[in-house]
Amino acid sequence: MATTCTYTFALCLSLAFLILGSSASSTEADILLSFKDSIQDPKNSLSSWSNSSNAHYCNWTGITCSTSPSLTSLNVSNNLIWGPIPDQISQFQSLRVLDFSKNHIEGRIPESIGSLVKLQVLNLGSNLLSGSVPAVFVNFTELVVLDLSQNLYLMSGVPSDIGRLGKLEQLLLQSSGFYGQIPDSFVGLQSLTILDLSQNNLSGVIPQTLGSSFKNLVSFDVSQNKLLGSFPNDICSAPGLKNLGLHTNFFNGSIPNSISECSNLERFQVQNNEFSGDFPGGLWSLSKIKLIRAENNRFSGAIPDSMSMAAQLEQVQIDNNSFTGKIPPGLGLVKSLYRFSASLNGLYGELPPKFL
Ligand SMILES: *[C@@H]1O[C@H](CO)[C@@H](O)[C@H](O)[C@H]1NC(C)=O
Ligand SMILES: *[C@@H]1O[C@H](CO)[C@@H](O)[C@H](O)[C@H]1NC(C)=O
Ligand SMILES: *[C@@H]1O[C@H](CO)[C@@H](O)[C@H](O)[C@H]1NC(C)=O
Ligand SMILES: *[C@@H]1O[C@H](CO)[C@@H](O)[C@H](O)[C@H]1NC(C)=O
Ligand SMILES: *[C@@H]1O[C@H](CO)[C@@H](O)[C@H](O)[C@H]1NC(C)=O
Ligand SMILES: *[C@@H]1O[C@H](CO)[C@@H](O)[C@H](O)[C@H]1NC(C)=O
Ligand SMILES: *[C@@H]1O[C@H](CO)[C@@H](O)[C@H](O)[C@H]1NC(C)=O
């Protein structure tokens, strides 16, 4: 062999690549087959995953490879697949997309997942994962989407190494079993556009400088937790913010008038908290605002007549606060408004005819 190689080095090299290539691909196919063996697939969605079929494994359902025989995307979303995430997942070193969402994937997230250093999308949302989420995120420097939402059996703190993911744009942890504090490290999530931590068991205060860290934020939702402390004051550092959800927590203190700097805000929901002080007047005249919900707090102040400038406003619920003054005539000028409920306040005057 050695002698042959000195004569035809190029041939040897390509032979070596062939051997390497075929062994890499048979390994990947083997891992996929043993994964298939370890799960239940009641819809038989993975029927093409078979070593007796003629199709190359790169052509199996849910698999994408790059030009070399290496797997770049494994997407078996929405198939009622039932079973654990195999430990061998770590061997798919080229994987950029791992989407197991909307199945019945159970058990713990294996720590071995942490060596998938090229991952851009990790979607394990809407499954039956349990236990706590391991600290596997430090290697995920390319991660853009992390979705662990709707895993009711998770019981986990929020791993603070998530805060190192400088390219992360979407962090979706809603409706799972996360408890404890939002880590201070989250200020490192400089590229974030969507943060959804709603419907968990989070407690404590929101990190001080969080609001000012997220310049590209479009949606910020921490509603339905047990968070306390004050309103995230610098949240309008993200000029593109459209959706702000803080409702059903224990937030207190007042909401600063600087909220009117969020000129793209469409949905503002702070109901069911312990907020007090004058309701920020500028909010009423934001040109894109559609929804204002602030019921069940202790807000005071009047509703300014300038609310007629909120030309997109559709729904207002401010019941059970301490608003005072006259219902402004401007209310009647907002043609898009279909719901205005303000019971249990100190308001007086007439509602425009269409609300009677
Ligand atoms: C196909 O895979 C099974 C296990 O999944 C194995 O027992 C069998 O030897 C394989 N056949 C071939 C031809 O590789
Ligand atoms: C996948 O299938 C297509 C068409 O069926 C074929 O052209 C292609 O060569 C196959 N790819 C591999 C890697 O086998
Ligand atoms: C995975 O496949 C589903 C459809 O089967 C698709 O909706 C989803 O966007 C894919 N996931 C990714 C990350 O491309
Ligand atoms: C990060 O990747 C390296 C190399 O693949 C691996 O040895 C290490 O265990 C990984 N770290 C974590 C936290 O998974
Ligand atoms: C939330 O956390 C508290 C303790 O802090 C615990 O008693 C409660 O069971 C948790 N609730 C849920 C839904 O996990
Ligand atoms: C908010 O609640 C905390 C306790 O959670 C309390 O110490 C603080 O004084 C309250 N602030 C206001 C303005 O009510
Ligand atoms: C009004 O809001 C307070 C909290 O500010 C709450 O305790 C009370 O139950 C609410 N009343 C009604 C009728 O919803």
Would the CB of 97 count as within 6 Å of ligand 3?
A: yes
The pick from 296, 299, 300, 323 for probing ligand 7's pocket by mutation, whose C-beta has the most ligand atoms within 8 angstroms, reads: 296
Would the CB of 277 count as within 6 Å of ligand 6?
A: no
Q: Which two tokens stand for residue 287?
A: 């040109």
Tens digit of each residue's pLDDT (9 = 90 or more) over 177-236: 999 999 999 999 999 999 999 999 999 999 988 888 899 999 999 999 999 999 998 999
The pLDDT of residue 26 = 59
Tens digit of each residue's pLDDT (9 = 90 or more) over 243-296: 999 999 999 999 999 999 999 999 999 999 999 999 999 999 999 999 999 999
CATH topology for 13-138 is 3.80.10
Cβ atoms of 250 and 271 closer than 8 Å = no
The pick from 26, 53, 54, 59 for probing ligand 2's pocket by mutation, whose C-beta has the most ligand atoms within 8 angstroms, reads: 59
The confidence band for 354, taking pLDDT boundaries of 50, 70 and 90, is low
The pLDDT of residue 351 = 77
The pLDDT of residue 21 = 39
**What torsion do the CA atoms of 167, 168, 169, 170 make, to the nearest 10 degrees?**
170
Q: Do domains 13-138 and 181-356 have the same CATH topology?
A: yes
Sheet holding 226-229, edge to edge: 156-157, 178-180, 201-205, 226-229, 250-253, 274-278, 298-301, 322-326, 346-348
Cβ atoms of 262 and 241 closer than 8 Å = yes
Backbone phi and psi for residue 261, each to the nearest 5 degrees, phi listed first: -75, -15
The pLDDT of residue 25 = 57
Ligand number nearest CA of 118 is 4
Q: Residue 170: is its pLDDT beyond 70?
A: yes
Domain borders along the chain are 13-138, 181-356
Which positions ≥6 away from 123 have C-beta within 8 Å?
A: 77, 98, 99, 100, 101, 145, 147
Residue that is written with structure tokens 């051997």 in the block: 19
Tens digit of each residue's pLDDT (9 = 90 or more) over 282-306: 999 999 999 999 999 999 999 999 9
| CA-wise closest residue to 264 among 239, 282, 284, 285 | 239
The pLDDT of residue 337 = 93
d(CA 82, CA 102): 10
Q: Whole-angstrom distance between the N-terminal and C-terminal Cα of the chain?
A: 94
pTM of the full structure: 0.88
The pLDDT of residue 68 = 67
Ligand 4 midpoint to CA 104 (Å): 27
The confidence band for 350, taking pLDDT boundaries of 50, 70 and 90, is confident
- Count of alpha carbons within 13 angstroms of residue 52, beta-carbon side: 1
The confidence band for 18, taking pLDDT boundaries of 50, 70 and 90, is very low
Across the range 128-132, mean pLDDT stands at 97
Would the CB of 47 count as within 6 Å of ligand 1?
A: no
Q: What percent of the chain stands above pLDDT 90?
A: 74
Would the CB of 33 count as within 6 Å of ligand 1?
A: yes
Q: Residue 315: is its pLDDT beyond 90?
A: yes
CATH topology for 181-356 is 3.80.10
Tens digit of each residue's pLDDT (9 = 90 or more) over 77-99: 999 889 999 888 888 989 999 99
Q: Residue 24: is its pLDDT beyond 80?
A: no
The protein residue with its alpha carbon nearest to ligand 7, atom 3, reads 296
